[in-house]
Amino acid sequence: MPIGIILPLLISFLSDGQIFFAAAFTTSIIVHKGLRLGKQYRNLTDYESAKIALFGPIANILLATILAIFNLAALQELIFVNSMMATFTMLPLPGLVGSTVFFGSKPLYVFGYVFILVLALLLKSFVNPYSALLVALSAGIIALITYLWKKELD
């Protein structure tokens, strides 16, 4: 039973929209070793798990960007909820996606969190979504390069 999807919707409906943001639960990655393509590499590495986990918040923020392209007043709350969900699930707290990404690959975490945070902030300030996407991607790449450069100096 997908309680992580049903419970937030139930809370929203039962509160008559007063509680409009109920965070969903965490998910786990289940590996079926026999079903892996090629069957050569049977176990997931931490880096592979981090890449898989990062796509959840990336999907949330890209959905918010697509909705922002339409620029309808009715979609502003949905844009806000998707942006906040992506931002808060990337926090490196146990049980959230951010901890999986952080402990799986720190450079991937730096790029992903800066990209998501900058894009969420720019979408909230009603910047053109195309420009916001370009600026957020640039900020993520600059943060990644800075992190790798600083790590190389240490």
Instruction: Identify the band that residue 23 occupies on the pLDDT scale cut at 50, 70 and 90.
Output: low
Mean pLDDT score, 83-96:
86
Assess if residue 92 is contained within a domain. yes
Structural domains counted in the chain: 1
Q: What is the pTM of this model?
A: 0.76
Assess if residue 35 is contained within a domain. no
Instruction: Identify the band that residue 94 occupies on the pLDDT scale cut at 50, 70 and 90.
Output: confident
Residue 4 has pLDDT above 70, yes or no: no
Assess if residue 37 is contained within a domain. no
Give the phi and the psi of residue 45 in degrees, each rounded to 5: -80, 170
Assess if residue 3 is contained within a domain. no
pLDDT of residue 13: 77
Assess if residue 96 is contained within a domain. yes
Instruction: Identify the band that residue 117 occupies on the pLDDT scale cut at 50, 70 and 90.
Output: very high
Q: Which residue has the higher pLDDT, 48 or 24?
A: 48
Assess if residue 62 is contained within a domain. yes
pLDDT of residue 35: 66
Assess if residue 22 is contained within a domain. no
Mean pLDDT score, 97-120:
93
Assess if residue 39 is contained within a domain. no
Q: Identify the domain containing residue 122 by its residue range.
A: 46-153
pLDDT of residue 72: 83
